[in-house]
Amino acid sequence: MKRILLTGSNGQLGYSCKKDLSEKFDLICTSLVKSKGTLQLDISDRVAVLNTLEKIQPHIVINLSAFTDVDGCEKNPHLANKINFEGVKNICDNFDGHLIHISSDYVFDGKDGPYDEFSTTNPISVYGASKLKADEYIIKNKSQYTILRANVLYDYHKKTSASFLKWVIESLQQNKSIKVVNDQLNNPTWTRNFSNVILKIIKKQGHGLINYADNGLMTRYDFALKIANIFDLDTNLIEQIKTEELKQEAKRPMKSGLITKKIENNFNIKPVSVDSSLHKLKKLVFNKK
């Protein structure tokens, strides 16, 4: 049985990866803060990374650890670089096996998306720049790697704090009105679909830079409406606004999203539709049809 080291396992995608990979692999999970069933690992600590890799001797490392607070990265570029670039470099430099790393559509400027694997990168935020620096380092220095590029991941779980879907559902359930931007385009992707893709990519030995996103390019506002409709919540509570009204610290790529032709053609992986994903998630979490 292959041994996999999964870093950042207490995050949003980590939760789904644990569900999909734990029975098929010898899965060793790490987290920044020690918790039940995980080893503590700060990927920005070079010695700790080296010691963990020596102790575990994994065949594959899946790195999900990242400083994902986009505005937080803008305020603290040093920390963004330390975790999102140097942390990844620490793994790269000390591990000879297959590294699976997750990149982001924030490596693009969002002027002319959706983007494929050949599109020109041009990050407009500290977060995007730190993610791109890591991608470039992996591509230059690692022979066995898969960089899976993702955009707008969501899930519903009591431990997920950064999920747009969870925020929409919980706000509307409590009758709170919400303001959602109508000028950012993406293809929202359920973390369970993404962890399934990781599983398939391992089986198919997929290497290189590969996009995955669920099928459905839409604005955040349209996604919120879709969530409300599918979860039987009041769409009147959703007000549409422009991104600039939020006065966020970091710029966002506006016309973004990912093209998935490569994963479809080369690996026969078909993106799941956003609608069917939301219906499935509803059934799974709320036991409702």
Q: Which residues are near ligand NAP by CB under 6 A?
A: 7-8, 10-14, 31-33, 41-44, 64-68, 83, 87, 102, 104, 131, 150-153, 162
Specify the 3-state DSSP secondary structure of 273.
strand
* 197: its two tokens: 């893709």
Closest contact distance (angstroms) between CB of 263 and ligand NAP is 15
- What's the rounded Cα separation, in Å, for the pair 25 and 99? 15
Asked if 201 and 268 touch (Cβ cutoff 8 Å), the reply is no
Closer residue to ligand NAP, CB minimum distance, 46 or 234: 46
Asked if 223 and 184 touch (Cβ cutoff 8 Å), the reply is no
* Nearest Cα residue to 206 out of 146, 157, 164, 254: 146
Closest contact distance (angstroms) between CB of 236 and ligand NAP is 27
* Nearest Cα residue to 36 out of 202, 159, 144, 212: 159
**Residues in Cβ contact with 175 at an 8 Å cutoff, skipping those fewer than 6 apart:** 234, 237
* CA distances, 109 to each of 105, 119, 203 (Å): 9, 11, 33
Beta 185-186 vs 218-219: how paired, if at all?
Answer: antiparallel
Closer residue to ligand NAP, CB minimum distance, 66 or 227: 66
Closer residue to ligand NAP, CB minimum distance, 128 or 282: 128
Closer residue to ligand NAP, CB minimum distance, 76 or 237: 76
Closest contact distance (angstroms) between CB of 84 and ligand NAP is 7
Beta 208-211 vs 145-150: how paired, if at all?
Answer: parallel
Of all helices (H) and strands (E), which one includes residue 181? Answer: strand 178-181
Closer residue to ligand NAP, CB minimum distance, 177 or 227: 227
Closest contact distance (angstroms) between CB of 163 and ligand NAP is 8
Sign of CA dihedral 209, 213, 215, 218: negative
Burial of 69 (0-12, 13-18, 19+ CB in 10 A): middle
Closer residue to ligand NAP, CB minimum distance, 25 or 189: 189
DSSP type of residue 270: P
Chain position whose Cβ is nearest to ligand NAP: 11
Closer residue to ligand NAP, CB minimum distance, 18 or 279: 18
Closest contact distance (angstroms) between CB of 44 and ligand NAP is 5
Closer residue to ligand NAP, CB minimum distance, 208 or 234: 208
Closest contact distance (angstroms) between CB of 151 and ligand NAP is 5
Closest contact distance (angstroms) between CB of 12 and ligand NAP is 4
Closest contact distance (angstroms) between CB of 67 and ligand NAP is 5
